[in-house]
Amino acid sequence: MTYRERIESKLNAAFSPAELTIRDDSEKHRGHAGYRPEGETHFHVRIVSAAFDGQNRVARQRAVYRALKAELDERVHALSLETLTPAEAA
């Protein structure tokens, strides 16, 4: 299973998102810290979930980081996050 697939699976399980977009931005970071030629080190994630209702931006991002702890510990160097509620995404 790729890291992208792992991220998708874990975020679906943890947040039941109405929308989930995951983009591997690794190639944009060639020559930067954490870059690997095989990719899957830098991701952009847009997640829209009712689970974020009542949470501020920091709490939402911390929840995503907790859900993806293993991936961040193993290989993923950076996550760019958009964490929204359905009302915010509308």
Strand, helix or coil at 30? coil
Tell me which of 31 and 24 has the higher pLDDT: 24
| pLDDT tens, position by position, 39-73 | 688 899 999 999 999 999 999 999 999 999 999 99
Which amino acid, one-letter code, is at 21?
A: T
CATH architecture group of domain 3-89: 2-Layer Sandwich (3.30)
Which residues of the chain form beta strands (DSSP E)?
19-24, 42-48, 78-84
- In degrees to the nearest 10, what's the CA dihedral of 3, 80, 58, 75? 30
| pLDDT tens, position by position, 76-89 | 988 999 999 999 99
Total residues found in the chain within this entry: 90
